[in-house]
């Protein structure tokens, strides 16, 4: 079964310094039809004005992944971690028993554009931790590059849930297929460009819930960047 989530149907939060699109219910935006998909609870597409950002705030029992699209995202947390993320960087913060952090646009002149992804962990009360990895465009072009997994295999960041996240950059004749094991579902989020997923054409910001299917197929891409989530049913 396929269920389309169109970009223009997402929740909107515009605070001046922050322009955000919510794929799932988040903050003041609530849609009972879109409260998550399995353990995948949040995909926020955030654009932050120069020199602005999220002040120090706390999280518990959540796997928080940042996928930077453009600009420079500065991160600081109560674990003593501080870094500036750019395109290709993937950050994972396991909030566990509790962590406080801030996220700011590092630049005073350019905007920053990133995806904030929340996944519910399989186990609560774990020690908080932080990790980041860089994935070059070449490593994602024409193939599904594993960027997050439950065991950190293939150089991916480790998340505390039976889930895998793949990223790909596709164009022209590129065609990819991802097999789904029994009892698995998939969620495909198009970061930008155009791509056909299981026969459905999607554009930037669109997504597709995939259940009771044996595979995910991606083809007919035009300057597309895509995230594929392999999730427990």
pLDDT of residue 59: 86
Distance CA 145, CA 160 (A): 19
Percent of the chain having pLDDT more than 90? 88
Task: Average the pLDDT over each of 38-52, 89-103, 130-144 and give the range with the smallest value.
Answer: 89-103
Summarize the confidence of residues 192-199 as an average pLDDT: 98
pLDDT of residue 10: 98
Tell me the pairing of strands 145-149 and 157-158. Answer: parallel
Report the CATH number of the 2-232 domain.
2.60.120.10
Tell me the pairing of strands 18-22 and 11-14. Answer: antiparallel
Domain ranges of the chain: 2-232
The total of other beta-carbon atoms located within 10 Å of residue 214's CB is 10
pLDDT of residue 76: 87
- What separation in angstroms does the CA of 202 have from each of 42, 68, 191, 207, 218? 19, 21, 10, 7, 10
Which tokens is 82 given?
């501080």
Distance CA 112, CA 17 (A): 11
pLDDT of residue 86: 97
Provide the pLDDT confidence category of residue 79 given band limits of 50, 70 and 90.
confident
Summarize the confidence of residues 68-81 as an average pLDDT: 90
């Amino acid at each position: 079964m396929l269920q389309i989530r169109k970009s223009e149907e997402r929740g909107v939060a515009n605070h001046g310094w922050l322009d955000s699109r919510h794929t799932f219910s988040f903050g003041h935006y609530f849609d009972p039809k879109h409260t998550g998909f399995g353990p995948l609870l949040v995909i926020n597409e955030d654009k932050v004005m120069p020199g602005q950002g999220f002040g120090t705030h706390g999280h518990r029992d959540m796997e928080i992944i940042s996928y930077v699209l453009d600009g420079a995202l500065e991160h600081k947390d109560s674990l003593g971690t501080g870094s500036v993320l750019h395109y290709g960087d993937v950050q994972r913060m396991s909030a566990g028993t509790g962590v406080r952090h801030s996220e700011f646009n590092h630049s005073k002149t350019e905007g920053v554009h990133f995806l904030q992804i929340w996944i519910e962990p399989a186990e609560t009360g774990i020690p908080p931790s932080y990790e980041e990895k860089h994935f070059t465009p070449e490593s994602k072009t024409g193939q599904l590059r594993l960027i997050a997994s439950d065991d950190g295999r293939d150089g991916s960041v480790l998340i505390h849930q039976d889930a895998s996240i793949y990223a790909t950059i596709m164009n022209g004749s590129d065609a990819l297929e991802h097999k789904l094991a029994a009892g698995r579902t998939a969620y495909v989020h198009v970061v930008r460009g155009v791509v056909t997923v299981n026969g459905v054409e999607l554009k930037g910001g669109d997504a597709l819930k995939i259940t009771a299917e044996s595979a995910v197929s991606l083809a007919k891409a035009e300057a597309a960047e895509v995230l594929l989530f392999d999730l427990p049913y």
